[in-house]
Amino acid sequence: MAQPPCKRTRLAISSDLETLSGISENMDVTTENRSVEVQGAGAQDLEGNRQCNSDNRKSCLIASEQFKDLLRKSYAFVDKTLFIQKFFGFDPSYDPNEELSAESMLITAPSRFGKSVIMNTLKVFCEPDVDEQGNIVTCLKKNVAGKWVEDKNKTPPKNYKLFKTVIRNKHLQIYSCTCLTKHMDDDLENGTCDSRQFFYQHCGQHPVIFFSLKDISPHNWNGFIKTLKESLCQTYKKHMYLGDQRSRLDEDMKLEFNLFLKGKKRDLDKEGQPITLKLDEEDLRYSLYNLIEYLYIQFNKTVLILIEEFDAPLMKLLHNPEENIKEAYIRKTIRYIGEMLSTVLKGNEKVLGALINACVLLSTTISPYANNVSICPFLENHGFSEYYGFTKDEVADLLKMPVFKGFNGNDILSYYNGYKVLGTNLQIYNTYSVLKYLQDWKDAREREKRETNKSPDMKKHAPRSYFSSHGIQPLNKLFAVEGLRDKFSCIITEGTVTVEKPVDKLTPEHVMILMEVMLQPSEVDDEHANLFLQYMKDRGYFNIIERNRNQHVYVIPNGEATDEILSQFYDTSYFKSKYNISNEMIRKYRTAINDLDRHNNESFQKFADSIASLFSGSFKPKNHDELKGILYAFCVNKFDTLCEGFCQENKRNRFDLLLIRKDGTGIIIEVKFGQRSAQNGLKQIFDNEYYKAFEGKNITKDKIYIGLHTNHQKVTVCGFATSYEQVVDSFANISDDKLIVKSSKL
């Protein structure tokens, strides 16, 4: 096919439903029973649609990005199908006689927020089922009023049946009536309500091109072109019918299509004789454009384009940086991808719409080539944020399921929340973290009940961070870079960090800067540090709470992100190297914490000595925050360390360190540095009511309160201890003989 002028079309990708979804010719996915309330296999609603029973679904978290798999196998399926209506611009005032047109948009969200599932849902919904003659399979007809209705004499296509699945006694939202019309019940029953008409007109009615950049290798040009060709050939293979007897393409086009599958093309030699050559860079550049042409001829319908992991090549460059990569190569790669998309997206009337997903805004470096693509950043108020991740209501609905009976929902709501959509009250939860924790909780409950034959103590299974499975690696080494460490010290101690002169339009130069940062130089300047903070915001480490043209204010969004940042920032290797602290010194410090005893005053002396030992070398902590960080670093992962004292904006309620030992003893430590005293620290615990942090915690033995002071001469501790039942709410109520004061020289 001749190469087009440099036009841009709207982006969309298509795949054969049978091949990509894994639905075999004889498999009716709706025969899987998976409703929580509906019992028994093969239950049917009044319309004869199969209902889903959770009894046959064994897992909460499914290792699949396929909508069909999640619907069939996960008892924690959350219905996001209304995204489809939103994408097409449907609203209750929709005129069913007017053809809807989807937008071309790039939506970003961090890893594990369900981007691939949303895209697969849209793909499976739209792509047609093709019969032996190459026609789109449909089971619809128009009634006397000109409305689409189901023809009971026709077999419905596979995806049509899939989206009519009944789960928890309800149809999927995309099939339900969402219009509040005067005659809604009657309209729904006969299928003439506007939202049902939307379903009829779009389900299985649009050819789709699905193209993923996940496997593109970007580190050298030859590798980039080779893997790009392989990925494009995989996209073509999803439409094998274009090259067989079902195809409506002419013979020349069929030949071109089949040659492309083999990585070849047709050409003429010097004498004008036909020859076969390998595909070159220009052929790949226009391959998606050509596939759109083929599909439009085949179906006489505009094509939906889906591009997944659009920023994957750039992300690979960042996380596997090589010093010899030059900015000119980065520019060449970005320009090539941008021009390839431009041939598809710019002014192409054969494209219905486009959805592109990416993790970070580095993907906007293609903006000069695709300026008709709407950019929808994570947590911006663009109307699509509620579909990426779980909303609070969706999490609450999950927790009402019988399988989670006995679960403390407050734990999950308080630990994983905090991703707030700018300018709204909408909060988003990381999909993977919520489901992974629920799965781990359920597995632990079943295991303990099986092993002990008793009801398990679920307090042992507090929420945990799963951030490291999809976070930036190696973050602990990056935190050691001067310039970056100062920024993170600020957000940990002050609760917020300000990014001055944030970058609005990313360029290849910014990609190079981030690559240089990822190579872990000894230090970075403020401008580069701010750019890295913006990148971390895109990766889900921060929330924007204030924004204007000159600055952004970031906050760590929730307990999960806080724990990940603290564990990486207070990495023991950093402090061991900087202060020349040995493993034996660390062991002595941890042992002293474990040995603190309200009946043994000398245990407090041992604690003071252990801290003095940490700083016996020539380097000493330079301020309060560094001292607190060192004490925390050598405790993390060794105790049930609670970190509410970090990363909070309300300083009055921020204690320095809270530990819960395995024996049920709770310890609060308030650190003072320089001019203040250890007694000031102990008094602050009671004046600011830090002791209330013990409430609701698993304290079954003693409560120990310690004020700790150090300067460059000595370490002093001022302690007070009670049994766990005793309540002391004022420093004034502590007699002098109950105070335990010990010191140790540095």
Q: Quick one: CA torsion of 231, 387, 543, 61, rounded to 10 degrees?
A: -70
Instruction: State the Cα–Cα distance between residues 639 and 634, nearest whole angstrom.
Output: 10
Instruction: State the Cα–Cα distance between residues 374 and 73, nearest whole angstrom.
Output: 34
Helix (H, G, I), strand (E, B) or coil at 67: helix
User: Taking Cα atoms as reference points, which of 544, 1, 631, 585 lies closest to residue 256?
Assistant: 1
Which tokens is 207 given? 């050819």
pLDDT of residue 207: 96
- Identify residue 398 by its one-letter amino acid code: L
pLDDT, tens only, 222-251: 999 999 999 999 999 999 999 998 899 999
Phi, psi torsion values for 689, nearest 5 degrees = 60, 35
CB 22 within 8 A of CB 159: no
pLDDT of residue 122: 97
User: Taking Cα atoms as reference points, which of 537, 493, 475, 438 lies closest to residue 645?
Assistant: 493
pLDDT of residue 47: 45
Is the alpha carbon torsion for 483, 484, 489, 495 positive or negative?
Answer: positive
Tokens 């072109």 sit on residue: 225
Please report the beta strands in 381-436, taking only residues with DSSP state E, as ranges in sequence order: 390-391, 419-420, 427-429
Which tokens is 640 given? 């049930």
* DSSP assigned state of 338: H
The string over 267-293, giving b where at least 16 C-beta atoms fall within 10 Å of a residue's C-beta and e elsewhere, is eeeeeeeeeeeebeeebbbbbbbbbbb
Instruction: State the Cα–Cα distance between residues 72 and 69, nearest whole angstrom.
Output: 5
State the burial class of residue 152 (Cβ atoms within 10 Å of its Cβ: 0-12, 13-18, 19+).
exposed
Task: Give the bridge partners for 267, in sequence order.
Answer: 275
| Ranges under pLDDT 50 in the chain | 2-48, 54-55, 180-186, 188-189, 647-650
- Identify residue 396 by its one-letter amino acid code: A
pLDDT of residue 63: 80
Instruction: State the Cα–Cα distance between residues 686 and 666, nearest whole angstrom.
Output: 15
Helix (H, G, I), strand (E, B) or coil at 591: helix
CB 657 within 8 A of CB 707: no
pLDDT, tens only, 149-172: 888 888 888 888 899 988 888 899
Q: Count CB atoms within 10 A of the CB of residue 384.
A: 19
Q: CB-based contacts of 604: which residues, under 8 Å, 6+ apart?
A: 596, 706, 717, 719, 740, 742
pLDDT of residue 368: 78
* DSSP codes joined into one string, 449-471: HHHHSS---GGGS-----GGGTS
- Identify residue 569 by its one-letter amino acid code: F
Strands 140-142 and 148-150 turn out to be antiparallel
CB 50 within 8 A of CB 42: yes
Tokens 């806080």 sit on residue: 562
Q: Count CB atoms within 10 A of the CB of residue 19.
A: 13
Phi, psi torsion values for 169, nearest 5 degrees = 70, 15
Which tokens is 408 given? 């403390």
